[in-house]
Amino acid sequence: MSPPQTAARARPFRDGLLRLDPPRLLGSHCPACGTTAFPSRTFCPRCRAGDGLVETELGVEGRVHSFTVVRQAPPGVEVPYVLAQVDLPADDVRLMARVVGVAPEEVVLDMPVTLELAPFGTAEDGTVLLGHRFTAAAEVAR
Amino acid sequence: MSLAPAHVAGVGMVRFGRYPAEVTLERMAVGAARSALADAGADLGAVDALHVGHVFGGPVAGQRIAAQLGLDGRPVSNHENYCASGATAVREAWVALAAGLHDVVLVIGVEKMTDRVSGGVRPDPGDLDAAVGYVMAAGHAMSARRYMADHGATREQIAAVAVKNHAHSVHNPYAQYQRPVALHEVLAARPIAEPLGLLDCSPISDGAAAVLLCSPAGLRRLGIEGPVPRVLAVGLVSGAVQTGTGDLNAEDVSHRAGEEAWKLSGVGPADVDLVEMHDCFTIAEIVRMEGLGLVPRGQGAAWTADGRTSLGGRLPVNPSGGLLSRGHPVGATGAAQVCELTWQLRGTAGGRQVEGARTGLAYCKGGTVNGTDGGSVTTVVMAR
Ligand SMILES: [Zn+2]
């Protein structure tokens, strides 16, 4: 467990992208056509409505639609890591994120995964910047 | 709506590859430009304007080139659409000619990458995808894995794109690589982003390509008589914000770019005799050909493995060797594709000539934007 003062000195790495407690991704929901978009937008990408969109918390349960094991990256990026297109069925949203909690060679298509937060860096004032990734759901993780 | 075509008076390239520091961006660009001017039999004094496509060339690269080349003082513009930058510079030259603003426009695509890019290209650091570790190879690797699962394609069929394009570039003196590559070499290459390996990826390259485009008045100014290959139209679209959880390889952006090309040029997909396709990665050639509607959905891998997209096949794709083998100095690629189509339509492409080529299509896709199906896509339609 993190000490309390660490939790107090953490914030999302981007404003409006996620909520820390409980960890939730934030999207925009269009009441006119029912479409949810992530990240949040000021217009509806499907019906093009320009107003009336509301902030919405996305479900935390996902499924790996496709993935890769990145073995080469630009300098300063540690490899290997698993990058995936993760579907959130409850919201009909697809997003790109890293997948952890499972050996790269054991990742499979349609594998269930769950949202978690992870450090994405540190601000100049020492605040931990938190971002999103997914971890293998309990029945897969060993 | 359709604009007048742009006539290709001359083309030139410097061989793509890896050059030492003293071979600067300006030097490569000047070399390609002088080749294109010589090919047209044109003097610098005949050139009304210079359009330069590049990504990593820094501020006013075009004006730096002009000052070395001898086009100082003339209108110079710089065009950045990532890997579609060279083709975008061609597009804006076509528009300027059709509008009557200029009669002779020199287009240069140029990039000096090997001294400033390593480990692969990625999106702008401010893009959300960059924050989660996206590199271009990873996106195409996810595309490939899903394509295999959805269509029953094999890893070997996808690797066949690299084998084919390397076989073609054996005949291209401007290609970075000019030796054949065997299937087992592609499969055994070092993994970059699984399932893709090193030989599924286009290289990081240096190079330049130049095209001299003219109106009919421009051709008269240069004393060129008789027909020359023409750029009929250049489609340009951008990635659209995606919603839902549909087909990862829908390639709607490629479909829309194709529709632009057919609409603007009056040419239909059935008229296309050959394609210069943006094969930055093996799988990309397959899914983009399908998105354009030139290959049936889900059959591109099998078509490649069967030889239907090889020289002598039903629809040759990348007779030049493509990005995989000619090399991929990103801002130069679109101009290099126009050079290749010009040689093909003149019938002077030598050992890589597509027999009877009358109509060609060149496709570029540049960059990525989080949440969309792409950055920038260009479709150049040329006819002899
Ligand atoms: Zn809507």
Q: What is the pLDDT of residues B336-346, one digit of tens each?
A: 999 999 999 99
Res A141: pLDDT: 45
Q: Are A60 and A47 a contacting pair, CB within 8 Å?
A: no
Which letter, b or e, does each residue of B246-266 get, where b requires 16 or more Cβ atoms within 10 Å of its Cβ?
eebbebbbbbbbbbbbbebbe
Closest-CA residue to B337 (of B81, B11, B117, B92): B11
Mark yes or no for CB contact A94/B244 under 8 Å. Answer: yes
Tell me where in chain B the CATH 3.40.47.10 domain(s) lie.
Answer: 6-117+205-230, 128-199+232-383
Res A75: pLDDT: 86
Mean of the pLDDT values across residues A43-56?
96
Q: Coil, strand, or helix at residue B336?
A: helix
B interface test, pick of A13, A69, A96 with most B CB neighbours within 10 Å: A96
Tokens, residue A62: 């996902």
Cβ within 8 Å of B, A 58-87: 65-75, 77, 81, 83-85, 87
Annotated active-site residue in B83, B214, B280, B339: B83
Chain B: give the shortest CA distance to residue A132, in Å.
8
Task: Please give the Cα distance from B93 to B87 (Å, whole number).
Answer: 10
DSSP classification of residue B142: H
- Domain B6-117+205-230 in CATH 3.40.47.10? The answer is yes
Task: Please give the Cα distance from B342 to B210 (Å, whole number).
Answer: 12
Res B145: pLDDT: 98
Q: How many angstroms separate the most distant Cα atoms in chain A?
A: 46
Domain boundaries, chain A: 14-136
- Residue-wise pLDDT for B302-325, tens only, equals 999 999 999 999 999 999 999 999
Task: Please give the Cα distance from B89 to B93 (Å, whole number).
Answer: 6
- Low-confidence stretches of chain B (pLDDT < 50) are none
Q: How far is CA B237 from CA A42, B81, B201, B333, B366, in A?
A: 22, 11, 24, 18, 11
pLDDT at A35 over 90: yes
Residues of A in contact with B141 (CB under 8 A): 68, 70
Tokens, residue A107: 């990742």
Examine the residue annotation and report whether B255 is marked as an active-site residue of this protein: no
Amino acid letter for position B340 = E
Task: Please give the Cα distance from B189 to B268 (Å, whole number).
Answer: 39
User: In whole angstroms, what separates CA B279 from the centre of its chain?
Assistant: 9
Rg, Å, chain A Cα set? 16
- Domain B128-199+232-383 top-level CATH class: alpha beta
pTM confidence score: 0.96
Q: Are B343 and B349 a contacting pair, CB within 8 Å?
A: yes
Mean of the pLDDT values across residues A46-63?
96
